[in-house]
Chains A and B, each alone.
Chain A
Amino acid sequence: KNQVEQSPQSLIILEGKNCTLQCNYTVSPFSNLRWYKQDTGRGPVSLTIMTFSENTKSNGRYTATLDADTKQSSLHITASQLSDSASYICVVVKAAGNKLTFGGGTRVLVKP
């Protein structure tokens, strides 16, 4: 079973609307959690990185939250744009070793 689960698998939203993506993880011990954006046919690009002590981090219209107690994270996209159409990947990094564990991603499609 994957140690990083994302939901939903895909979603469609109208341009200008907000949406929230979820990430639940069981990876332990925890070092940090990252959200990546992956455009079709491209490699993932980092949006945010959060450590244990950080609850919220923003990058423009992207806001990530982290609850290390419940092992949950979310990525909120505000006022979506067509360019937000992409897959969003949650990655959890163990405190020991160099292992990154990737979620399966949420595919977001923004329609005009």
Chain B
Amino acid sequence: NAGVTQTPKFQVLKTGQSMTLQCAQDMNHEYMSWYRQDPGMGLRLIHYSVGAGITDQGEVPNGYNVSRSTTEDFPLRLLSAAPSQTSVYFCASSYSTRPMNTEAFFGQGTRLTVV
């Protein structure tokens, strides 16, 4: 049981480049989300999904797109990378669409640097 798998673990991009961060879970979880973690700050929600075909914005969605074509996968796309997007990105999943009462499982993170 792999849990939540993120790839790549590290990435360096040039300003203006695009890329996709991959996230997959094998626990049949309905709820998936993307966060970014910056030094000294709490994790901030970028986008989330309550099921296949359904996505919504979090508190810092600008510059990012997501899709949820299957229950297992929830990729995060950076459309045109900017230095402000340098951060560590975490994907998380929960069994229920109401994660307030269930545990969130996190991936190991992707450290992204935009130069």
Is residue B31 within 8 Å, beta carbon to beta carbon, of the partner chain? Answer: yes
With a cutoff of 8 Å between Cβ atoms, the chain A residues found around residue B101 in the complex are: 31-32
With a cutoff of 8 Å between Cβ atoms, the chain B residues found around residue A95 in the complex are: 100
The count of chain B contact residues (Cβ–Cβ below 8 Å) is: 24
Interface residues of B in 19-35 (CB under 8 A from A): 31, 35
Q: For the complex, give the distance between the alpha carbons of A44 and B35 in Å.
A: 12
The count of chain A contact residues (Cβ–Cβ below 8 Å) is: 25
**A-B CB pair tally, cutoff 8 Å:** 57
Q: Is the interface of B mostly helix, strand, loop or mixed?
A: mixed
Interface residue ranges, A against B (CB under 8 Å): 2, 4, 9, 31-32, 34, 41-46, 49, 89, 93-95, 98-105
CB of A104 within 8 A of CB of B109, answer: no
CB of B108 within 8 A of CB of A105, answer: no
